[in-house]
Amino acid sequence: MTDGMLSKTATMEIPINRNGDAGTLAEDDGLEQVAKLQWSLDEKVGSSGGTRDLQQVMVSGPNLNETSIVSGGYGGTNEGIIPTSSIKGSSMQHSSSGSSMTAEEASRGVAVEKLDFVKKWSLNTYKCTKQMISERFGRGSRTVDLELEAQIDVLRDTKKKYENVLRLARALNNHFYSMVQTQHALGDTFADLSQKSPELRDEFGYNAETQKLLCKNGETLLGAVNFFVSSINTLVNKTMEDTLMTIKMYEAARLEFDAYRTDLEELSVGPRDAVTMARIDAAQEQYQIHKDKYERLRSDVTIKLKFLDENKVKVMHKQLLLFHNAISAYFAGNQQQLEQTLKQFNIKLRPTGADKPSWLEEP
């Protein structure tokens, strides 16, 4: 009980007056008596008792997690006590509300950007559709580059003809592959019959050797035809197609350019008030943007057409020479010339059965 009184007395606050001096209270005499009593008890208890009291104070000390901010003097009411948990909760509420407001502003900004994009896209689509309909009905004017348009028409016609060549070459390759497989099976059958028919062993043997030789030459010719088909396919479906994609972009840019050019011309004919002048300035800006785009794509198409024509001549010169030499050597029965043709064009044949899985990979 005495220790509790002492600890309570030790934690009492000393009131300070307005001038900063210690005020005099009626409790000063009691404090002096209590201090004397504490001094006498300390002398009696000794060092062991002091250590035990210190440990009790440390154990029974306040919990930092439940620390309160005290407003007012000792022994006051609970109105001045503010729990720290309420401060933490309010700060967390402020941070969560701030983050939610930031997310809401970001989503609102994205929505505004999407709305502006849809608005511009709709306006551009309307203008281009209007221009396209006017051109089809002969009421609108269009920008025409006669030389470039003629080159584009030639390219499209050439692509159709090369596609026909590619289709026929693939058909020849498939039919010839079937014939080679038939010759291979026929040669195996003749070889088997030569072993089982002693009276016709020589005749079956000659035919078996002939079919095997034809099968070998056929596989060599198939290598040349496959190379020819692959090169034509690359030229038609990659090189020409890439140029045609650029041409489609150029034609779309030409339509947009004419649409904004027509819009500017219509605004220029109307009245010249303040609102119309602002619209004319905006239309002039859009017209210049689409004009630069159109001219840039027209230059790209011109360059690609030039390089495509040069590449086409080189590729077809090599492939037509290969096709002619290989077909001539095969049907002439000149195996040495056929093999020399493949070496000339750096064509390597796949070994027989290369596409088949090994016996380790078989299920």
Question: How much is the pLDDT for 168?
Answer: 96
Question: How much is the pLDDT for 70?
Answer: 42
**Nearest CA among 260, 225, 168 for reference residue 349:** 225
Select, from the ranges 4-18, 100-114, 202-216, the one with the highest average predicted confidence (pLDDT). Answer: 202-216
Residue 335 CA to residue 50 CA, distance in Å, equals 116
Contact 293, 277 (CB under 8 A): no
Strand partners of residue 81: 70
Digit-coded pLDDT (tens) for 106-157: 777 788 888 877 878 887 788 888 888 888 888 878 888 999 999 999 999 9
Binned at pLDDT 50, 70 and 90, residue 297 comes out as: very high
What is the average pLDDT score of the chain?
76
Digit-coded pLDDT (tens) for 52-75: 444 444 444 444 444 444 444 444
Asked whether the predicted pLDDT for residue 264 surpasses 70, the reply is: yes
Binned at pLDDT 50, 70 and 90, residue 304 comes out as: very high
Residue pointed to by tokens 């044949």: 349
Residue 86 CA to residue 83 CA, distance in Å, equals 6
Digit-coded pLDDT (tens) for 305-339: 999 999 999 999 999 999 999 999 999 888 899 98
Residue 363 CA to residue 357 CA, distance in Å, equals 10
CA dihedral for 324, 326, 327, 328, sign (positive or negative): positive
Binned at pLDDT 50, 70 and 90, residue 240 comes out as: very high
